[in-house]
């Protein structure tokens, strides 16, 4: 079964840059698009990156996504951290059956 693994938590100071990784368990993570969602408590997730590195309108350009085939991983980078960026972040892709797969989520603390 295809799985995505994320760090449980990361923390960084306001104004700094943080990167959250998402590692695929098998096959090539580049075979299917990777999305990143932000989720605040009590709310549904919202898309911050889609199709590996595309940013929806309204998402600040402080958010960027990338794929590293050599490590079979995707990354979400947030620069110029703001306290409002504190949330849970999930990567998501699809397996060979086109079933959705989510990473376990990463809690970002901005302190």
Partner 1 sequence: QVQLVQSGAEVKKPGASVKVSCKASGYTFTSYYMHWVRQAPGQGLEWMGIINPSGGSTSYAQKFQGRVTMTRDTSTSTVYMELSSLRSEDTAVYYCAIAPSSAAFDIWGQGTMVTVSS
Residues that bind partner 1 (CB under 8 A): 1, 32-33, 35, 37, 39, 44-45, 47, 50-51, 54, 56, 90, 92, 94, 97-105
Q: In the bound complex, what is the minimum distance in angstroms from residue 31's beta carbon to partner 1?
A: 12
Q: Which is nearer to partner 1, 35 or 73 (CB)?
A: 35
Contact between residue 5 and residue 22 where contact means Cβ atoms under 8 Å apart: yes
Phi-psi region of 2 (alpha: psi -120 to 50; beta: other; left: phi over 0): beta
Helix (H) or strand (E) holding 5: strand 4-5
Q: Which is nearer to partner 1, 14 or 45 (CB)?
A: 45
Q: In the bound complex, what is the minimum distance in angstroms from residue 76's beta carbon to partner 1?
A: 13
Q: Which is nearer to partner 1, 36 or 73 (CB)?
A: 36
- Number of CB atoms found within 10 A of residue 65's CB: 22
Q: In the bound complex, what is the minimum distance in angstroms from residue 16's beta carbon to partner 1?
A: 25
Token pair, residue 79, equals 């620069």
Contact between residue 105 and residue 6 where contact means Cβ atoms under 8 Å apart: yes
Q: In the bound complex, what is the minimum distance in angstroms from residue 27's beta carbon to partner 1?
A: 17
Contact between residue 87 and residue 40 where contact means Cβ atoms under 8 Å apart: yes
Q: Which is nearer to partner 1, 61 or 100 (CB)?
A: 100
């Amino acid at each position: 079964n295809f799985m995505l693994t994320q760090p449980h938590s990361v923390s960084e100071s306001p104004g700094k840059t943080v990167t959250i990784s998402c590692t695929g368990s098998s096959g090539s993570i580049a075979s299917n698009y990777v999305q990143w969602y932000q989720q605040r408590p009590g709310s549904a997730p919202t898309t911050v990156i889609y199709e590996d590195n595309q940013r929806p309108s309204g998402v600040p350009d402080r958010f960027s996504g990338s794929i590293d085939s050599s490590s079979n991983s995707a990354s979400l980078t947030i620069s110029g951290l703001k306290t409002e960026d504190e949330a849970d972040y999930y990567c998501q892709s699809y397996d060979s059956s086109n079933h959705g797969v989510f990473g376990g989520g990463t809690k970002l603390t901005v302190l």
